[in-house]
Amino acid sequence: MEYSRSIPIGQLGVGLRYENVRSDYFSNDVKMEEQSRRYDQWFPNFSFSTKLKEVNMQASYTAKTKRPSYRQLSSNVFYGNRFLLQTGNPYLKPSVIHDVTLVSTWKFVQFMASYKNEKDAVIYWTEQMEENPAISVLAYRNLEKLPNFTAFLTLSPTFGVWSPQLSGGFIKQWVTITSSDKPVKLNKPLPIASLNNSFRFPNEFILTLDANYQGKGDVQNVYLTEHRLRVNLGVTKSFYDNRLRVELKGHDLFRGQKDGNLLYNDRMELYQVNRYDSREIELTVRYNFNSARSKYKGTGAGNTEINRL
């Protein structure tokens, strides 16, 4: 149920959603009680938008849920090596996210700030087997709360054929966990920036140059130890009134796609470094034969459950 009305200083919207979800999980026609779930919850939302001279502003509050996937709920045990096993956690609770967001726009400038508090957030967690502490079991657990603050500033001007979009900001969380019987604070902000450039020339010729950067920082119980910079270059040309479209793209030209994860757990620290063979060339040729747009605007009610598989 949702309600909205116009008031002299802006637009007010109030909504309330009720969810009653039953999901039965079967394996080879046998119902798995551990993975089957029943959810019964209310989710309110609130929004207010107004305009101060040339500045548009919108404030909103939303409550929503994020349910664990069936894989995360599974009790099956996978063998990694003689020192590492991986499994799920049938006792995981769904996460409930409270989100307060402010968005402000002025001409080609947009500012967004958001505070989220995720209750019962699902995180990776490793513990040692009681009968053999040399063996680690990688699973999942619920974190009591995961508050974080996000702020981004985006500039989208246009200079003739050039349309750049510059965005920069950070995500900062406030999390303290216990590792090796000591409190570990994971509060370092994670910087994120991007610069997307589009050059539109005559005769349906488009050149794009995009760069995306992510710095070091904390995410849940993980410290990201590597800087990541990905640069992509693309050329697009259309023919025959846009019926034929040819795209040539180069991805990660400088091989800056990499990960470094320092995972804090109960009695161990797990450090993993990933290097990707992500530099590639992509050629796409697309031709539309008497294409017609679909009039269907909805989405399937079961998509959320399908995505949990």
Q: What is the pLDDT of residues 231-285, one digit of tens each?
A: 999 999 998 888 899 999 999 999 999 999 999 998 888 898 998 889 999 999 9
Distance CA 120, CA 98 (A): 12
Give the per-residue pLDDT at 25.
75
Give the per-residue pLDDT at 296.
56
pLDDT band at 223 (very low <50, low <70, confident <90, very high): very high
pLDDT higher than threshold 90 for residue 116: yes
Query: What are the CA-CA distances from residue 94 to residues 16, 65, 76, 103 (Å)?
Result: 19, 7, 20, 28
- Which residue did the predictor score with more confidence, 9 or 35? 9
Q: Are 166 and 159 in contact (CB under 8 A)?
A: no
pLDDT higher than threshold 80 for residue 9: no
Instruction: Compute the average pLDDT of residues 105-117.
Output: 97
Q: Are 220 and 125 in contact (CB under 8 A)?
A: no
Token code pair at residue 262:
């320092």
Give the per-residue pLDDT at 305.
59
Distance CA 219, CA 221 (A): 6
DSSP H or E segment with residue 72: helix 70-73
pLDDT higher than threshold 80 for residue 171: yes
pLDDT band at 129 (very low <50, low <70, confident <90, very high): confident
Q: Are 49 and 82 in contact (CB under 8 A)?
A: no
pTM comes to 0.82
Give the per-residue pLDDT at 307.
64
Distance CA 66, CA 72 (A): 12
pLDDT higher than threshold 90 for residue 176: yes
Q: Are 94 and 39 in contact (CB under 8 A)?
A: yes
pLDDT higher than threshold 90 for residue 69: no
Give the per-residue pLDDT at 137.
92
What mean pLDDT value characterizes the chain?
89
pLDDT band at 203 (very low <50, low <70, confident <90, very high): confident
Q: Are 271 and 265 in contact (CB under 8 A)?
A: no
Strand duo 136-155 + 84-86: pairing: parallel
b/e per residue 230-265 (b: at least 16 CB within 10 A):
bbbbbebebeeeeeebebebebbeeebbbebbbbbb
pLDDT higher than threshold 60 for residue 295: no
Give the per-residue pLDDT at 1.
63
Whose CA is closest to 47, among 57, 61, 35, 34?
61
Instruction: Compute the average pLDDT of residues 86-95.
Output: 90
Burial status of residue 219 (CB atoms within 10 A of its CB: 0-12, 13-18, 19 or more): middle
Whose tokens are 């995306």? That residue is 212
